[in-house]
Structure 1
Amino acid sequence: MEKIQGRHTPLRRSLWIVGIYLLVGWLWITFSDYLVQQWFPDPETLSRVQTYKGAFFVLVTALVLFLSLIRQFVSDRTLLSLNVRQQEEIRELNQFRESVIERANVWINVLDPEGRVVLWNKAAEDISGYPREEVMDSDAIWQWLYPEEENRVRIRERANEILRDEGEVVGYETWITTRNGRERQLSWNSRSLRNDAGEITGSIAIGQDITDIREAENTLRWRERQLSTIMDNLPGMAYRCRYDEFWTMLSVSNGCLELTGYEPHELVNNSLVSYAKLIDEACNETILRTVESAIGNAEPFSIEYPITRKDGRKIWVWERGRGVEGEGELVLEGIILDISDRKELEEELSELATRDSLTGVLNRREMTRILEEEIARAKRYDRELALLWIDFDHFKAINDDHGHAAGDPC
């Protein structure tokens, strides 16, 4: 490749042209003189022909020289115009590059092979607090950003590996100390730079300040742990489910096992059974209407209904939830509590309020209420009403003679 390029250098090209010109001129003079002498033996005629021959040679030489100069001038003009355009494109490219680098919202710096800063953009200034006037053409920034020696040596060695072309860095996270003493966490991408000859001329590093991102992630993880702890200790089952005919559970708390007898993973996505299968079929229509009405009014819903546990035992539950938009679909979020004890207590209280605790027959208040309803119904439909009255004779004597303790078993 070097020999081919050398053959076309201006000096060699000029020497070739001169050599060819001398050879052609010598051949022309030698052979033309010989032919003219053979064709025109008369001295006077020979003299005139020699004059014409010389004039012709000068004319041809001038024409060739003229064409060569014209071709060279056109070529030079084309090259000059191309060079001007290239210079303009390079200038625009440099302006664009500098504009992009300066306006980038990420830290960009370039180091020379000795680790000295040769480029330091505005984001690097803003994040580190060090202006470019203080860091350019210096490697002091390493000590400023990483004051702890062991950490600085480790990171500097990583940068030297890039300068030795021993790989590149992607997502390498470090903590830096800014000029005001604050610590910031950055994620780095870095690689070596090469010239046209393939030689390493330095390295470029792009850093993103991820301090706020990491703090937000830590806060989110803490809140998730806190929420998980709260949900796992709730008396019942917190849930998130699809608004479909199966009430497909997307997530449930660990209280699912105690409430339904099923492990959470057995209910999620209807893996083993759908929640709709646990609900008493007679209640499905009522539940659906209640939920539809609440969603239509953008209100939470509350409803009580029985379910059948995995062990076959029926319990009563109270559910409170509301519809929310999640991942492009309407879902339900809420909590379900076991209210079986409360239901039993309500039934006991209802029994005590309407029946005699000793005999189990209706008490006076409930009997009066029922009689009033039946009398009103008989009047409304114009029909007769019958009442059976049973009296136990001499029962009072037993209580009087032997006491109520003996009379109750009777």
Structure 2
Amino acid sequence: MFVFSAFTAFSEGLSEAYENVMSVYSQGDHSVTKEIAVDFLSIAKEQNDTYYMTKTYYLLGYLCTHTDDFGNAIIYYLEGARHAEISERDDLKPSLIAIYKNLALILGDYGHYSLSHKFINEGLRVASELKDEQQIIILLNNRIHELLSEKRLNEGLKQIDSLLANFHVSEKRFLVMKNKLGAAYGELGNHKAALENYKYVIDRGPEVSPETYALCMENTGGIYLEQKEYSKALEYLLATYDFDSDKQYNQKALRTLGKIGQTYFELSDYGQALNYYQKAIELIEQGNQTPTSYEIFREVSKVYSILGEYETALEYGRQYSEHLEQFIAQQKEIEELDKKYNIQLLTDRYFDLLAANTEKRETERMAKFGIAGSSVFFLGLLLIVLYRNHRVKREIENQLKSIELLSEV
């Protein structure tokens, strides 16, 4: 019914048609929503409606991320951002900020940290124009996340200090920052400072931010495990597992179970180690995965080897190999997607287009001062454009055709 109403609404105006697309989206069927959004986009293109083109590109990018189609997600997001920038419509700027945030997160996950920071900076530029402090805080939080992910720990610590010194953050955001401080100090080997930050969150309880509380409990137990203070490690890790299970934080529970099993293994309590490793395997079989969940099977194999049950050890060793192969295949798939869509070239193209649009605006502004007053500027602009075209011409010519064939835009 929703699909039918979406198509019949095309003749009734873009506004009603877009509302119908969003009605389908609200039902949670991403594949159907994507189909009608693509059709709606073609109508918006025919009518050259920048507003609905931008909104639909944004929606399609979001849908692609939720169907693991990250290459096309990047393409749709870039198209949405380009149209929003060209239009200069204030009512599109919130969507533009969201697009830049999402692009930064995807590119960070792909390991393109420099590109991720570029888009965070673009988001900060637009948020600053709107004087939207909440969006600025969120974007700075994302910058901190990327800095810590790429192990630029001291820069991350400085960014956290700057954020807390220059902005009034909510209590929940403050607790998130304390956890990030703990993570950074822990990576730097400063366990005392890490524990101080984690315990600050723990002492305030789970009411304000239960997920942050769970992370700090788990991380505290992890530090004590690293320090071989096994009784303290178990105290925190067992409490964390109970909390994660109650809240159905399955991926957090899976990580915690691995650490509990490791702690009992270090204590030579192999029965308990197997008990908690088996609980972790049950979560994996229910579809809960983490990037390193395959390691559980190797640990179980090690326990059975120590117990002399070699056939069982071999079976879990085989399962470990299978899960490891799956992980490697996923990593290769990500690398192939990166090559297929040539993310670096796509984003370079975008920033060249953005720069050209900025130069166009400046040209129009300068033209108001008269031909004589702006002749030097035009000469400089010509040189800039010629230089840029020379720099990217061959690269674009070689790859543009294949990229556009792969794109659904």
Asked if these proteins are the same fold (TM beyond 0.5), I'd say no
- Relative to total residues, which structure has the larger strand share, 1 or 2? 1
TM bracket (short chain):
under 0.3
Greater fraction helix: 2
Give the number of the structure with larger relative contact order, counting CA–CA contacts within 8 Å between residues 6 or more apart.
2
TM-score, scaled relative to structure 2: 0.19
